[in-house]
Structure 1
Amino acid sequence: MNDTTTPTTAIPISNPNAPTQNDALNSTQDNTSLFSSSLISAEVSSRLPEGYSIRPLRRSDYNGGFLPTLKVLTTVGDISEEAFTTRYDFMATRNDTYYILVVCDENNIVVGTGAVVVERKFIHHLGMVGHIEDIAVAKNQQGKKLGLRIIQALDYVAEKVGCYKSILDCSEANEGFYVKCGFKRAGLEMAHYYEQSPSTS
């Protein structure tokens, strides 16, 4: 008697822990830079301590020491990863305006950061000005000239994208440091602070 049983096809068992296509996509997005790494000065990079690197901010830096480093400078607040990502994505869609870079140690942990924000003007033939902001270096990394390298890198970015000058605000105690970075006193900073709820936009 012939066996007429229809052969069955083996059904592969999926591994629930295996990375999915979405995981790979998210990983790629997390490692996407805020702006082009071609704007990072090779000369500045070469002057960092051995094993250190300087690069544009990434989404993944939320878990890589970025916010703790900023806390050395000022109040940061309790920022969720979702809120961080929302702000990052806002800046990423305007990557000709926001340039935030980070310095990482030999373990790829963020230990320094700074930003230059490009302001577009009508004066000076539709000129652009780079506002250098939020320079911070982790306390256990100070004394390695990381702050100097960050300023130099941001100044390079501002010049490369077409700014006719870059400016910053600092305390009198830090004036000497910024003079060494090539800046000079040019006026007086004024501020008017407003009481308002933290922005989530």
Structure 2
Amino acid sequence: MSLYALSNSSLDLLFSVDLISSEVKAQLHPDLHIRPLASTDYRRGHLDVLSVLTVVTDPGEAAWAAQFNAMRSAASTYYPVVIIDKSSDRIVGMGSVFIERKFLRGLGSVGHIEDIAVDKNQQGKKLGLRIIQALTCISENSGCYKTILNCSDSNIPFYQKCGFQQKENEMAKYAPERPNSPPHL
């Protein structure tokens, strides 16, 4: 076992590293490592990488940790993964899949992929593809009958290369803006 793998064994991970495809791990550059989100990833730039998607408000480390623990308390539901640059111990890519349990399809489940983000300096290296592959594998191995995601029109070709097909339409209704207050858990 590598020194890096040994150090990862001491991390407080959101879910078991065994759920991440060994094929995906093998396809990453040796300087990179994919694993579940850890309770200390706030300090590894988690929010910085998410900022490639939208404006990210920093809630502070304590609130971030509370969100991590709330996600963990919903067992077998949230599966956020990160790609770490081993030399800097910083996050360079991430994404999540959450499992929705349904009454349809014989009490089936659907995997929802969200928040695929790759550091601007790491784009074009197939990290987004590896994240999608890892999350799709988690979804399928969790028994989901389908895995879905929403994306902008400009990202449709990328997701088609990942094996997804365009189907139906997304609708959204945003809640009215409220003063900054933490959500009730």
User: Normalized against structure 1, the TM-score is what?
Assistant: 0.83
Q: Contact 2:47–2:58 at 8 Å: present in 1 too?
A: no
CA distance in 2, matches of 1:95, 1:135: 22
Q: Contact 2:97–2:111 at 8 Å: present in 1 too?
A: yes
- The structure having more radius of gyration, on CA atoms, is 1
1:84 matched to 2:64: yes
1:145 matched to 2:126: yes
CA distance in 1, matches of 2:93, 2:31: 14
Deviation digits for residues 63-89 of structure 1, max 9, x if unmatched? 011110001111220211110011000
1:178 matched to 2:159: yes
2:104 is matched with: 123
2:73 is matched with: 93
1:12 is matched with: none
What one-letter code is carried by the residue in structure 2 that aligns with 1:188? Answer: N
Q: CA deviation at 1:102?
A: 0.1
Structure 1: stretches of 5+ with no match in the other structure: 1-27
Deviation digits for residues 85-115 of structure 1, max 9, x if unmatched? 1100001111300000000112221000000
CA distance in 1, matches of 2:152, 2:17: 31
Q: Contact 1:35–1:56 at 8 Å: present in 2 too?
A: yes
- Determine which of 70, 76, 83 is the counterpart of 2:50: 70
CA distance in 2, matches of 1:131, 1:56: 16
User: Normalized against structure 2, the TM-score is what?
Assistant: 0.90
1:37 matched to 2:17: yes
Runs of 4 or more, structure 1, over 4 Å off, are: none
Q: Contact 1:34–1:95 at 8 Å: present in 2 too?
A: no
1:167 is matched with: 148
Structure 2: stretches of 5+ with no match in the other structure: 1-7
1:105 is matched with: 85
What one-letter code is carried by the residue in structure 1 that aligns with 2:150? Answer: D
CA distance in 2, matches of 1:43, 1:116: 18
CA distance in 2, matches of 1:50, 1:74: 29
What one-letter code is carried by the residue in structure 1 that aligns with 2:94? Answer: T
Q: CA deviation at 1:50?
A: 2.0
